[in-house]
Structure 1
Amino acid sequence: MKKIIYSFAQHYQKICTAIKHFDGIAALALRLFLVPIFWMAGTNKLMHFQDTVAWFGNSDWGLGLPFPTLMAALATSTELVGAVLLGLGLMTRLISIPLIITMVVAIVTVHLPNGWQAIADPNAPFANAQVLASAEKLEKAREILENYGNYDWLTSSGSFVILNNGIEFAVTYLVMLLALIVLGGGRYTSLDYWVSYYLDKKYTNIRFHQ
């Protein structure tokens, strides 16, 4: 029995050693998933910058944040620069920190009052009162569209839903950024790896010649 366990452990260790060269794929997948999200968010803020500033500063229908122009500029630049650096895999751990801060601010100031769900689904777990109330509204909307519109054409690209705008997506992106702080840019798949490889090799050559 001990021999079987020892043999299994040896084979398992060999497999782990072999697949470690592919561990950069996970980091690459996370980075490529996040790039379009932050790029679209940043470009949208930039293209409508004055509206973004107004939304950041207005306490009646916006976030009511202090220094709205500065806050809007920081959020916009963080998302745009973050998208570029994540795409390149450059300074991955460093840029993940301000992106995490951006996500935390978005969660607390925008999404948290709406609960968990991004899309209202009364049958899903964590459905709050707002989500439960959406069922009747959605049914009324379906009735109107069926009676006065081409319902089959309107739903040919997908079913109608009610946006709940909860924390679900923002928390997902936050968790992915936390993973990137641990994983870094990824072995072989990021500039972080190759810069580190070059510097380590150069430092080793300097020590060798000394």
Structure 2
Amino acid sequence: MTVRAGREFLAIPGPTTMPDTVLQAMHRPAIDIYSKQMTELTESLLRDISKLFATKGKSYIYIANGHGAWEAALTNVLSRGDKVLVLESGRFAIGWGNAASLMGAEVEVLKGDWRRAVRPHEVEERLRRDTEHRIKAVVVVQIDTASGVQNDIEAIGKAIKAANHPALYMVDTVASLGCIPFEMDKWGVDVAMSGSQKGLMTPPGL
């Protein structure tokens, strides 16, 4: 016989446990996808997501997990053969780099340590050496789930600017958005992506 007391929790980094209010909101009939109600709901969500990222730029919702968002971010700003600098701080930083490699990008990993955050001065030094500006994008994870490392996105953005380098600054906020501050425009982030299943505490797949 199994005895359970209270609510069952999934004790893993993600998906996180959804609040009852979120679960209850899902128990409603689907609305007409061609209706004004659907259009207004979608537009309001996109506006709210931009506020969450702290950007005046446009936001988009993909029916995909974080890996799908990685691919969407990469394919919309890079071409085959473009060089990407991956800032290592854990499994998911390397994973985003692997995704870029599979899509035809040339990937260079700025070696780091899973026990510490990316060092902004090392990023600046590497970009200063790229005098031909072959590096088209710098990718980093704000919080890497595997290592638990939290990177200083603002400081890394300042390092890129100090190097006077034109590379796009791309940030994965899957494990951080809604949990810790993220200021996309203020910190000079060009492209950011996230997922619905962690800090946002909603069903996975967006």
Q: Please state which structure has a larger fraction of its residues in helix.
A: 1
Is the strand fraction higher in 1 or 2?
A: 2
TM range (shorter): under 0.3
Structure ranking higher on relative contact order (CA contacts 8 Å, 6+ apart) = 1
Q: Is the radius of gyration larger for structure 1 or structure 2?
A: 1
